C-alpha cells in the first residue's frame, strides 16, 4: 500500500497550470481494468498534488557517468569475453562496432538443458493434493545489451537506435517460436536497482517459458469476454481522449483508465496485432521515437525514477480464432510506490493518482530536442 514515507518524496513546488487540478476534492473510485480483469481503487486523498510525485532517488547511479566504458562491467564493449555465450549481435556482421548484443543470462532462472526438458512431465505431489503440479524448469533466459557504451541508456539512443533494440527482441522471439515446448515469451526491462536491475549498464531480458503464466491467461480470457460481449477488440476500443499522452503514426501512449500504479503508461499499437514479433522495421523506428519520448517525459517529471518495462504479447501458439481479440502492448511502471498487505491479500491495488491527471501532466511535459 502506498505511503508517503516509504517510496516517495513530496516536493513543495510552486503551483502552476499543470498542478491546478481538483484531485483533492474528488471522491475515490473503483475502476475495472477490462484488459487484465483487475480492480483498482483510485484514492486521491492518499496523496498531494499529482504533479508533486517524484522518485526518492534517481535510477542512474554510475560513479563516473561520463565514462564510455567500465573495466569491471562485462556488458561494455571490449569486455565481451567476460559474458555468457553470445546468441547474436546487431548488426550481424559487426565486430567491435556492435550496437546490440543478445547473450545467455549467466544466472538464468530456467535451464536450457535438454535433460530438464525431458523431465517436463506433469505429476501430482506424493501427498495427492489435487491441483498441485510440478514441471521441470526448462526454458530460456537471455539478456539484451542495449548499447556498447556504459553511460548510454535506452532513451539516450535515437529512435532508429531504439529500433535496433526492439528488432533484437523480435528476432529472438522468432527464434524461440521454433522451439515446440516454448509457449510464452516475456520481454522486460528493469531500470534502477529498486526496480530489480542488478547491472547499471542498460539492458533488458527475455524469459521463454513452457507454460502460459496465469496473468497472461487472465488477460486473454478478459479480452475474449469483451470481444464476445461487444464484437470489438478491447485494446482497439481503448479510451484515448483524456487519457492520451502522445501519439505517433502507428502507436499511442496513454495512462490506462484503471491504472494500477501512479503514472503507469501504456504504449499501444493503433493497428490490430496479436504478437509483438509481427513488428516491422518502419514500425519499430516509429515505436522507438514514441518510447524515447515517453521515457524522457517520465524521467523529467518524476526525477529519473526506477521503472519496469514489459511487453505483453500473446502466447506463441494462439489459435486463429483468437486473433480478433488478442492485441499486444507495452506497459511502463515507474517505481513510485510500494505494495502492502491489502494489495497482496486482494489483488486490488490503490493508486493515489487519477490516470487522466497523470496523462494531462505528461502531455504538458516539454522535452527539448537535446534531451
Hey, which residues are catalytic here? 203
Question: Any bridge partners for residue 55, and if so which?
Answer: 8
Q: Quick check: 143 and 205 in contact, CB under 8 A?
A: yes
CB atoms within 10 A of CB 174: 13
Distance from the first to the final alpha carbon of the chain: 34
How far is CA 159 from each of CA 114, 191, 282, 287, 290, rounded to the nearest angstrom? 38, 19, 11, 8, 8
Q: Nearest CA to 325 among 229, 256, 209?
A: 229
Q: Nearest CA to 103 among 148, 141, 151?
A: 141
Q: How many Å apart are CA 175 and CA 126, to the nearest integer?
A: 37
Q: Nearest CA to 52 among 336, 370, 267, 369?
A: 336
The C-alpha cell that represents 218 in the structure block: 487472465
Alpha carbon 156 to chain centroid, angstroms: 18
Amino acid at each position: 500500500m502506498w505511503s508517503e514515507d516509504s517510496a516517495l518524496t513530496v516536493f513543495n513546488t510552486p503551483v502552476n497550470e499543470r498542478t491546478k487540478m481538483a484531485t483533492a476534492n474528488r471522491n475515490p473510485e473503483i475502476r475495472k481494468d477490462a484488459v487484465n480483469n483487475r480492480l483498482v481503487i483510485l484514492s486521491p486523498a492518499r496523496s498531494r498534488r499529482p504533479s508533486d510525485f517524484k522518485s526518492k532517488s534517481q535510477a542512474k547511479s554510475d560513479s563516473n557517468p561520463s565514462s564510455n566504458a567500465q573495466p569491471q562491467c562485462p556488458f561494455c564493449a571490449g569486455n565481451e569475453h567476460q559474458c555468457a555465450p553470445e546468441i547474436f549481435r546487431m548488426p550481424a556482421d559487426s565486430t567491435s562496432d556492435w550496437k546490440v548484443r543478445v547473450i545467455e543470462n549467466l544466472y538464468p532462472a530456467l535451464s536450457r538443458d535438454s535433460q530438464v526438458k525431458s523431465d517436463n512431465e506433469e505429476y501430482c505431489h506424493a501427498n495427492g493434493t489435487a491441483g498441485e503440479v510440478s514441471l521441470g524448469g526448462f526454458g530460456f533466459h537471455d539478456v539484451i545489451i542495449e548499447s556498447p557504451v556504459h553511460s548510454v541508456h535506452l532513451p539516450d539512443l535515437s529512435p532508429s537506435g531504439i529500433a535496433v533494440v526492439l528488432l533484437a527482441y523480435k528476432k529472438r522471439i522468432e527464434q524461440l517460436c521454433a522451439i515446440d515446448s516454448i509457449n510464452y515469451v516475456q520481454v522486460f526491462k528493469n531500470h534502477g536497482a529498486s526496480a530489480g536491475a542488478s547491472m547499471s549498464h542498460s539492458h533488458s531480458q527475455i524469459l521463454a517459458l513452457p507454460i502460459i503464466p496465469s496473468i497472461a491467461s487472465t488477460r486473454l480470457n478478459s479480452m475474449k469476454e469483451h470481444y464476445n460481449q461487444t464484437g470489438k477488440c478491447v485494446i482497439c476500443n481503448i479510451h484515448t481522449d483524456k487519457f492520451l499522452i502522445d501519439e505517433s503514426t502507428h502507436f499511442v501512449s496513454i495512462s490506462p483508465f484503471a491504472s494500477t500504479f501512479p503514472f503507469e503508461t501504456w504504449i499501444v499499437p493503433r493497428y490490430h496485432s496479436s504478437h509483438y514479433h509481427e513488428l516491422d522495421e518502419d514500425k519499430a523506428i516509429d515505436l522507438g521515437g514514441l518510447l524515447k519520448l515517453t521515457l524522457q517525459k517520465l524521467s523529467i517529471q518524476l526525477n529519473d525514477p526506477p521503472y519496469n518495462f514489459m511487453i505483453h504479447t500473446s502466447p506463441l501458439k494462439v489459435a486463429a480464432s483468437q486473433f480478433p481479440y488478442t492485441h499486444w502492448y507495452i506497459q511502463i511502471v515507474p517505481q513510485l510506490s510500494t505494495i502492502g498487505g491489502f494489495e497482496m491479500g486482494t489483488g486490488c491495488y490503490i493508486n493515489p493518482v487519477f490516470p487522466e491527471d497523470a496523462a494531462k501532466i505528461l502531455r504538458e511535459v516539454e522535452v527539448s530536442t537535446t534531451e
